[in-house]
Amino acid sequence: MLVHEVGFKRRNMEKLYDNRPIGVFDSGVGGLTVARSIRRSIPDEDIIYFGDTARVPYGNKSKDTIIRFAHEIVNFMIAKKVKMVVVACNTASSLSLQALKKTYDIPVIGVIVPGVKEAVKVSKNKRIGVIGTHSTVSSGAYVKELKKVSSRYRIFQGCCPLFVPLVENKMINDPVTFEMAGRYLKTFREKDIDTLILGCTHYPILKSVIGKVMKDVKLVDSSFAVAREVDSILRDKGLSAYGRKRSGKIKCFVSDNVEAFRNVASIFFKENLDIKKVIL
C-alpha cells in the first residue's frame, strides 16, 4: 500500500515538471540583467537567451520594425521549444508585447508592468521618474501603467540614448559615463522624485553611477520583479522545472559577433557562456 502511494505521488510530480527552457530576449546584452535574476531566483530552469546584436539599438526604431524583429526572435525560440517568453527589453515590451501576446499561445511577459508594480511599492511621495530609450519614453508605456494604478502619480520621463552604447562598450565607471549621467539626470534632481525606474535593461549595469548622481532616490531595477513573475506564472500553469535533479543551464544566441558578446556578457555572468551566432 505504502509503495503504491509513493509511486503514485512520484508519477504525479513528474507530470508537473516541465523541463523546456524559458526564452529571454533583448536587443543586446542588457536583457542578461533579467536572465541573471531569473537564474538566481529559479536556478532549476534552463534559459535560452537571444541578443539581437546585429540590430542593436532598438531604442530609435519604429514600432513596425520592432514588432517584426520581436516576431522573428520568438519564432526562433518557439522552434527551440521554449515554454514561455520574457521580453527582456523595455523598448520591445513597450512596442511589441501586445502583438506578441496575440500571436503566440505560450505565456509572453514584458518588463514594464513588473517595473511599475515595484515602483509603486517603494514610492512614498508619488513622484516617480522614468528613464529609458527614446522609443520607450515616447510610447508612454510607463505613464499608462502608472496611471492605471492611480491618477495621483506625478511622472517625469527622460531618455538617455548614450547609456546603451556606453554599457555595450563596457565603459561602466568611465568619467564620460559620469558626465553623461550628470547631464541626463539633472532635471530629475530638480523634481523631488523619490523613485527612479531604470526603464531600459542596460541601465542596471550603471546603477552605481546613477546612484551617485541621484542620491537618496530609490532606483527600480525591474529584473527581480520580472523573475518573481516568471516563477509565479510557471507554478500557476504547472510549467515549472522545480525539483528536478540538475540545475538549469543558459544558452545564448546572437545575431552578430560571438566574441564581442562574450566580452560584454562577462559583466553579468562569471561562467563561460555557451554562445552561438544564428541568422534569423
* Catalytic residue status for 160: no
Stretch that binds ligand DGL, among 13-21, 88-96, 148-156, 264-272 (CB under 6 A): 88-96
Total number of residues binding ligand DGL (CB under 6 A)? 17
**Closest CB to ligand DGL among residues 136, 177:** 136
Edge-first strand order for the sheet with 127-132 is: 154-159, 127-132, 195-199, 218-220
**Closest CB to ligand DGL among residues 227, 239:** 227
Q: In this chain, which of 59, 107, 115, 204 binds ligand DGL, going by CB under 6 A?
A: 59
Query: Taking the complex as a whole, how short is the minimal distance between the CB of residue 158 and ligand DGL, in angstroms?
Result: 14
Query: Taking the complex as a whole, how short is the minimal distance between the CB of residue 203 and ligand DGL, in angstroms?
Result: 8
Query: Taking the complex as a whole, how short is the minimal distance between the CB of residue 245 and ligand DGL, in angstroms?
Result: 34
Q: In this chain, which of 22, 26, 39, 180 binds ligand DGL, going by CB under 6 A?
A: 26
The torsion angle over the Cα atoms of residues 80, 82, 88 and 91, rounded to 10 degrees, is: 70
Residue type, 19: N
Retrieve residue 189's grid coordinates: 534632481
Q: Residue 248, Cα to own-chain centre: how many angstroms?
A: 18
As a whole number of angstroms, the distance between CA 223 and CA 171 comes to 21
- Pattern 92-131, binding to ligand DGL, x per CB under 6 A? ----------------------------------------
As a whole number of angstroms, the distance between CA 170 and CA 264 comes to 6
As a whole number of angstroms, the distance between CA 76 and CA 79 comes to 5
Query: Taking the complex as a whole, how short is the minimal distance between the CB of residue 19 and ligand DGL, in angstroms?
Result: 28
Contact between 223 and ligand DGL per CB under 6 A:
no
Q: In this chain, which of 164, 185, 214, 225 binds ligand DGL, going by CB under 6 A?
A: 164
Contact between 91 and ligand DGL per CB under 6 A:
yes
| Residue 83, CB-side half-sphere exposure with 13 Å CA sphere | 19
**Alpha-carbon distances of 36 from 33, 55, 166, 178, 271, rounded to whole Å:** 5, 22, 20, 25, 12
Contact between 168 and ligand DGL per CB under 6 A:
no
As a whole number of angstroms, the distance between CA 168 and CA 221 comes to 18
As a whole number of angstroms, the distance between CA 94 and CA 72 comes to 17
* Catalytic residue status for 159: no
Contact between 27 and ligand DGL per CB under 6 A:
yes
Residues annotated catalytic, as ranges:
89, 200
Q: Please report, as ranges, the residues that interact with ligand DGL according to CB under 6 A.
A: 26-28, 30, 56-59, 89-91, 133, 136, 164, 200-202
